[in-house]
Every structure is written in structure tokens, then in C-alpha cells.
A and B are shown apart, each in its own frame.
Chain A
Amino acid sequence: MSTPQTLYDKVWAQHVVADLGDGVSLLHVDRNFIHDLSGTRAIKSLIEQGRSVRYPAQTFACPDHTVSTDRRSPHSGERYARCVDPLRTMTADQGVRFFDIGAAEFGIIHVIGPDLGLTVPGALIVCGDSHTCTHGGLGALAWGIGASEVAHVLATGTVIQKKAPRLRVTVTGELAIGVTAKDLILYLIGREGAASASGYAVEYAGPTLSAMSIEQRMTICNLSIEMGAKVGMVAPDDKTIDFVRGREYAPDGTHWHQAVNHWSGLVSDDDAVFDKEIMVEANVVSPQITWGTSPEHVVGIDQYVPDPAGESDLDKREAILAALSHTRLQPGKPMEGLHVDRVFIGSCTNGRLSDLQAAAHMIKGRKVAEHVQAWVVPGAQSVKRAAEAEGLDQVFLQAGFDWRQPGCSLCVGANGETVADGQRCVSTSNRNFVGRQGKGSITHLASPIMAAAAAVSGCLTDVRKLMGERG
């Protein structure tokens, strides 16, 4: 009998082109997604080296980081001249599919991959972006790489990688009302630490994950990198197959049946051994809000700003002090009630249709507080179209939200859209790092419904209270 294998082991083994020794392999890349920052740099350096894209049919480009999401903004100027225009030209020269701004397929690369059916279970996917782990929500083996590695993938169709030890996170129990997949993963990062999964490939498993939608699983996998793991995966199941079925680039005809058959084997064997195991009870999680400058700086909305005096480790105490100095919070004060200037609903973490539906449900019939500037940025054109078909755009607009074009927007501060110095933003994105949303900006990470609650209340608010009112 063969050795029991984890999901990660199986997908890894299927992609080994050559064993380079010491656990390092040359792996075949099924999908190479490139965007307007690392992608543009990589393809430029490739061409400068006199090389070309070896397998253009498996390479897909879409600008997302530097693109304005303001409908009135012309798509021109320095950012476009540096990042977007060269990508358009070079991909055309190399025969690579380019999803242009405004095209039906356009959007954040981690949203459009699954939406277009480019992301399928068991595929090996890389992109020069750390949130490539998102695609693991469909059972793909996907991780972020640097620009030099992107150039290697473009030139060779392969990636060099050392196999990681395996970490399984098993989640049991039901999420309470008002608690989302985002809260669960933030809670886990807070409990275990931002470096706790460093070097590991994570598989999320257990009944709570099985009960989740594919979009929720993508939110979970998306934040794997904030726990230190490049890879986060959920084994594909019937829900995954239903999700992929019929999408533009999904397998069709006889290939579909062959694919489904192949995917059904992509589960960790019952007796497979993981290098590390973590258990989480979903029912203990409350709506989360970050207070500091790392995603591990997180508490329940009904909790208080941590007191550095209570921390015995000197380095940790200093880290808390530095974070609180940046976020301008007082130790021991409640998180709830903190005045908010901006709200951002979007990103590859929480910019999908179900995120917008949940936020819209909270907002319907309410108004954004007068002092708050609130944005909804759909993750892709497909998300925007579907939301508009349901009238969600009208719900947001009537409440006083700005309903914007797709893109990375306020998550990344690379597109002219930033939070001003000293402004406090509740954001459904993935990082509250110093300066992430603009110089001097203060970020509080939260779920879409928590962000919606903050927008209408004008301050950090326990979303469960608004839900109570709504019945």
C-alpha cells in the first residue's frame, strides 16, 4: 500500500517535472497570472534578456493594482505609462491573453481567476502577488512569488520550490450570527500569530469549512499569508465542482467528466500525517476588528484596546506601544464607538458578490453617517454586473456609498486612492500595515458586514446590535 498523502502532497506530486534534491522540485505551472506591478516588471526583464514567454496559452494578464476605480478618471498618466500600457503591449507581442480595463473579464486577478473558470481544483497557480493563496479555496495549489520568479515562470513554464511541511487547521462548530469567514480567519491569526504558519502549507478542513461556500473558503485561504503561510487550501467537494461548472474557461465536454473524476481524488487520505495540527471552535468567535499594525493585532468588537503593561515580554510590549502610537488608541478603552472617517468594502479578500450582498443587507434603508466617506469597490466586472442585476448598486448609492469600478483600490495604495494622514478607515481588505492605505492612514480590518455597520453608525460598531434591530 502506498504512503498516505495529504491534499498538498498529491497536487505537488502531480506537478513535479524534476526532483532537484533536498526537497526542492521543478514544478509545472498550470496558470501564470500576471498583473501590472510584478508582471510588468517581469515580462519587461524577460524581453530585455532576449527571452520570450514559453507557454503563452497558460499565461493570463490583468492590470488591477494601479488602476483607478473612479469612473471619471481617464486611464492615462504616469502610472498607466509605467505599469499598464507596457503590460498591454508586451503581452500582445508575446501572445498572452490580456484582460483590459473595462473588458467583461476585467477585475482583481484573484477574483477573476475563479470567476472565469481559470482557477480549477488541483491546478498549480502562481502570481507575483502574495494573496495568490486565495485560489486554494477551490483546492488549487497556489502561492505568491517575486518578480524574478515570475520571469522564471514566463521563460520556462515552471517554478522552483522547496516542499513545505504541512499544517492542518480543523474547524468545528457553527459561526454565530454576525460572524463571518473573515472573522474566523482573523481570530485564528490573532490567536496563533502572524508568523505562526511561516514555512507551512496549510489545509483548512473540518465541518465548518465543508459548510462554507466557495467564496467564504476563498476569504479564509486569502489570509493564509497573514499567518505566514504561502499556501492555503481546502479540498474540493461537490460545492467546488458546482462552482466551476459552466464557467467560460472551465473544462467542457468530455474533459469536464475527466476533470471531475480527477478532482474527486483530491482529498487528504484519512491516515495522512500533518507536521502540525491546529483545532479551532468556530462558535467561540465574535466579530473581529484589528487595533494595531499587524493582522495579529485583533480583538472581538466587544473587547478592549490591549494594555501593553499587561505584556511581560519586553519586545512584544514595545511592539504594542508602537502599534498603538500609530493607530492613536488608548490602552483599556473599548474598541466600539471609535470614530471612523472612511469605509472600504472590496479587495481580493472581500470583494465578491456574497460579500456585497451581505453588506447591502445591513445597509438597506439606512444612511452612511454624514462624516464618513464610504466606498464599495466590486472585485471584478462580473461581480459588478451580478450585483447591479440584483439592484445592490442602488442600495449602496441610496445609502450614500460610492459605487465604484473594479480594482485593488484602497487595499493597496498603488492607484492614487488612499486614506489621508490620520484618517481612520474600516476596511474589508487584508493588511493594516503602517502606510498600507496611504501615508499616516489608520486601518481597522473587519468583515463586510462590520464595515457596513461602521459606515452607517459612523464609528466602530458591533454588527450584531444592528442585526438585532433588524430582526
Chain B
Amino acid sequence: MDKFTVLTAVAAPMMQANVDTDIIIPMARMVTAERADMHQHAFEPWRFRNDGSENPQFVLNRPPFQAAEILIVGANFGCGSSREGAVWALQGLGIRCLIGSSFGAIFYNNCFQNGILPVVLPSVAITQIADQVAASGNSAVVTVDLQSQLVIPSIGAPIPFEIEPNRRIQLLDGLDDIGMTLERADEIDTYRQIDKKNRPWIYRGD
């Protein structure tokens, strides 16, 4: 998995609340598209017009935001379905970091599985950064430093953010969950041996 340490990049504002994963990647594409091609369909209902051409109004179709690697998002971004394709689609667009006041809970976990950093900040700070990048012409750049847990807008003071320590290390080092858990195989087997006595019905057929 890709490591995430410090990212300085164009940030695009997408401040609608409740942007769901059906918008980020429509279900029909989840069925037919390969993981590597999902970005072609990212935000499809908004990004393209009915004739298939790009919608010039959509933020990621406009300069300088076409080059965005950071999204400043509204509350509850990524709500809805558990589809990890939503993260793969964003990843394919080059997005490495999302900054919002809250995220869909399953989507939030899926980000970490793919080296994407979701940063939670108070909504006041989100609005401030979103307004700043929206008004900044061609210099909509924000720095996100996971090492020191800071979001650094181009104007104003750095904003500290909280993140689960395990998640932070996982991203900084690009660690693989499965490998780490399998190192605990003995603990898992011990748990199961004891639990099998307490709840034998769970282990039927085992």
C-alpha cells in the first residue's frame, strides 16, 4: 500500500452534504469496471452531461481543480453503500486526501485500506478552507502533514487534527492489515478454543 506522509497539492471544494457512494461510483460501474478503470466513472452523474461530454460546471472539470489531489468535502461524505469502488474511483482520479467534518463510517475505513487519508476537522474550519480554495484562482494549494498532524492552508495558521494512532502508523508506513493480524494467529486460535466451549453453536461444522 502507498505510504502517506506529507502532501502539498491543489484542493478542490465539494461542499454538498451527504455525497453518497452511488454518486462517487454508480452501481452499474461497480459490476462492469475493473478497479483500475473506475476513475473514468467517478462522480458520473455530475461530471458528465447526458451526451457524455464533460460538464464544465462540475468542480473537478474546472481549472485549477482538475489537478486536485485533495478534496474539501461537506458533512457525511461517502455515506451509503460499503462499495470500496468509491475509494478506488477517487484514487484513480489522483485524490490522496479528503478533508471534511464527518464521513460515511464504512467509507472512512475503506480510505485507510487504500492509502487515502480522511481528515476530520470542525465544520467551521472546513468552510474556511473551502471558501479559501474556491476564491484562490490558480493557487488553491493546501498542505496535509500526517507526521505532525497538521492541515496547512495557504493563508492562515496550521490546523491540528486528530487521528487514531494505529491508523496514522498504518498510513505512514504503508502497512498491510492482513500480514499484521496473521502474526497474531496463535492468539486467534486460543480465543477460538476457549470460545468454542462457551458458545459451541457458533462453531458448528468447524
Contact B15 A315 (CB under 8 A): yes
What B residues does A259 contact at CB under 8 A? 199, 201
Which residue in A30, A38, A162, A431 is a CB contact (below 8 Å) of B84? A38
Which residue in A21, A30, A256, A414 is a CB contact (below 8 Å) of B30? A414
A160-B177 CB under 8 A given contacts A55-B206, A433-B23: yes
Contact B45 A434 (CB under 8 A): yes
Q: Provide the A16-50 mask, 1 if CB < 8 A to any CB of B, else 0.
A: 01101111101010100000011001000000010
What B residues does A434 contact at CB under 8 A? 20, 22-23, 45
Contact A439 B16 (CB under 8 A): no
Segment with Cβ contacts to B, from A75-83, A394-402, A447-455, A463-471: A75-83
Bound CA span A435–B25, Å: 10
Bound CA span A239–B109, Å: 35
Bound CA span A262–B202, Å: 12
The count of residues in chain B whose C-beta lies closer than 8 Å to any C-beta of chain A is 59
What A residues does B84 contact at CB under 8 A? 38, 41, 146-148
Contact A199 B102 (CB under 8 A): yes
Q: How many A-B pairs with Cβ below 8 Å?
A: 194
Segment with Cβ contacts to A, from B58-66, B152-160, B182-190: B182-190
Contact A78 B178 (CB under 8 A): no
Which residue in A38, A146, A151, A255 is a CB contact (below 8 Å) of B178? A151
> Would you list which residues of chain B between 106 and 155 have a CB under 8 Å from chain A?
106-107, 109-110, 113-114
Contact B184 A17 (CB under 8 A): yes
Q: Is A328 an interface residue (CB 8 A)?
A: no
Contact A413 B27 (CB under 8 A): yes
Contact B204 A249 (CB under 8 A): yes
Q: Provide the B75-112 mask, 1 if CB < 8 A to any CB of A, else 0.
A: 11001111110010000000000000011111101100
Contact B17 A319 (CB under 8 A): yes
The count of residues in chain A whose C-beta lies closer than 8 Å to any C-beta of chain B is 78
Contact B82 A160 (CB under 8 A): no
What B residues does A155 contact at CB under 8 A? 178, 181-182
Q: Is A446 an interface residue (CB 8 A)?
A: no
A258-B200 CB under 8 A given contacts A148-B84, A162-B164: yes
Q: Is A120 an interface residue (CB 8 A)?
A: yes
What A residues does B182 contact at CB under 8 A? 155-156
Contact B26 A439 (CB under 8 A): yes
> Would you list which residues of chain B between 9 and 30 have a CB under 8 Å from chain A?
15-18, 20, 22-23, 26-28, 30
Bound CA span A23–B44, Å: 37
Segment with Cβ contacts to B, from A104-112, A122-130, A364-372: A122-130
What B residues does A138 contact at CB under 8 A? none
Bound CA span A24–B202, Å: 23
Across the two chains, which residue of chain A brings its CB closest to B191? A17
CB distance from B79 to the nearest CB of A (A): 6
Scoring B105, B198, B202 by chain A CB atoms within 10 A of each residue's CB, the highest score goes to B105
What A residues does B191 contact at CB under 8 A? 17, 28
Q: Provide the B165-201 mask, 1 if CB < 8 A to any CB of A, else 0.
A: 1100000000001100110110110011001001111
Q: Is A144 an interface residue (CB 8 A)?
A: yes
Which residue in A23, A49, A146, A158 is a CB contact (below 8 Å) of B106? A146
Across the two chains, which residue of chain B brings its CB closest to A198? B102
Bound CA span A362–B17, Å: 37
What A residues does B18 contact at CB under 8 A? 194-195, 294, 296, 319
Contact B201 A120 (CB under 8 A): yes
Contact A28 B105 (CB under 8 A): no
What A residues does B205 contact at CB under 8 A? 57
A315-B22 CB under 8 A given contacts A24-B164, A128-B82, A230-B106: no
Which residue in A30, A38, A78, A255 is a CB contact (below 8 Å) of B83? A38
Contact B113 A146 (CB under 8 A): yes
Bound CA span A55–B189, Å: 11
Q: Provide the A140-155 mask, 1 if CB < 8 A to any CB of B, else 0.
A: 0001111111011001
Q: Is A229 an interface residue (CB 8 A)?
A: yes
Q: Provide the A180-215 mask, 1 if CB < 8 A to any CB of B, else 0.
A: 000000000000001100110000000000000000
A66-B82 CB under 8 A given contacts A55-B206, A148-B110: no
Q: Is B32 an interface residue (CB 8 A)?
A: yes
Bound CA span A428–B36, Å: 34
Closest 4 CB pairs of A and B: A251-B201, A148-B113, A195-B76, A146-B110
CB pairs A–B below 8 angstroms (28 shown): A22-B165, A24-B164, A55-B206, A78-B32, A79-B32, A128-B82, A129-B81, A144-B106, A145-B109, A146-B87, A146-B110, A151-B178, A157-B188, A157-B192, A162-B164, A194-B76, A195-B17, A195-B76, A198-B76, A198-B104, A225-B80, A230-B105, A255-B200, A258-B200, A414-B31, A431-B20, A433-B23, A435-B23
B interface residues (Cβ-Cβ under 8 A, vs A): 15-18, 20, 22-23, 26-28, 30-32, 35, 44-45, 74-76, 79-84, 87, 102-107, 109-110, 113-114, 164-166, 177-178, 181-182, 184-185, 187-188, 191-192, 195, 198-206
